Amino acid sequence: MNQMNWFLAPAAAIALAICVYALIRFRKACVSHRQQNDTETTPPVAK
Protein backbone atom coordinates (compact mmCIF):
# COMPACT_ATOMS: atom_id res chain seq x y z
CA MET A 1 0.00 0.00 0.00
CA ASN A 2 2.83 2.38 0.83
CA GLN A 3 4.51 1.75 -2.52
CA MET A 4 1.17 2.51 -4.20
CA ASN A 5 1.02 5.91 -2.50
CA TRP A 6 4.58 6.73 -3.60
CA PHE A 7 3.47 6.14 -7.19
CA LEU A 8 -0.06 7.56 -7.06
CA ALA A 9 0.70 10.85 -5.32
CA PRO A 10 3.16 12.20 -7.96
CA ALA A 11 1.07 10.74 -10.80
CA ALA A 12 -2.06 12.49 -9.52
CA ALA A 13 -0.18 15.78 -9.08
CA ILE A 14 1.23 15.57 -12.61
CA ALA A 15 -2.17 14.69 -14.09
CA LEU A 16 -3.78 17.61 -12.25
CA ALA A 17 -1.09 20.01 -13.48
CA ILE A 18 -1.55 18.80 -17.07
CA CYS A 19 -5.33 19.27 -16.81
CA VAL A 20 -4.97 22.82 -15.49
CA TYR A 21 -2.35 23.66 -18.14
CA ALA A 22 -4.52 22.26 -20.94
CA LEU A 23 -7.56 24.14 -19.62
CA ILE A 24 -5.66 27.45 -19.58
CA ARG A 25 -4.30 26.86 -23.10
CA PHE A 26 -7.78 25.93 -24.33
CA ARG A 27 -9.38 29.06 -22.82
CA LYS A 28 -6.67 31.31 -24.28
CA ALA A 29 -7.16 29.70 -27.70
CA CYS A 30 -10.93 30.26 -27.45
CA VAL A 31 -10.46 33.92 -26.49
CA SER A 32 -7.99 34.64 -29.30
CA HIS A 33 -10.24 32.77 -31.75
CA ARG A 34 -13.22 34.89 -30.72
CA GLN A 35 -11.20 38.10 -31.11
CA GLN A 36 -10.12 37.08 -34.62
CA ASN A 37 -13.74 36.36 -35.53
CA ASP A 38 -14.82 39.75 -34.17
CA THR A 39 -12.20 41.66 -36.16
CA GLU A 40 -12.80 39.80 -39.45
CA THR A 41 -16.56 39.33 -39.46
CA THR A 42 -19.14 39.41 -36.70
CA PRO A 43 -21.62 36.58 -37.23
CA PRO A 44 -24.37 36.06 -34.63
CA VAL A 45 -22.81 33.79 -32.01
CA ALA A 46 -24.97 31.84 -29.58
CA LYS A 47 -23.50 32.16 -26.10
User: What's the pLDDT score for residue 46?
Assistant: 62
pLDDT digits (tens, 9 = 90+) for 9-43: 999 999 999 999 999 998 888 777 777 666 655 56
Dihedrals phi, psi of 43, to nearest 5 degrees:
-75, 155
pTM above 0.85, yes or no: no
Cβ-in-10-Å burial (0-12, 13-18, 19+) of 21 comes to exposed
User: What's the pLDDT score for residue 25?
Assistant: 93
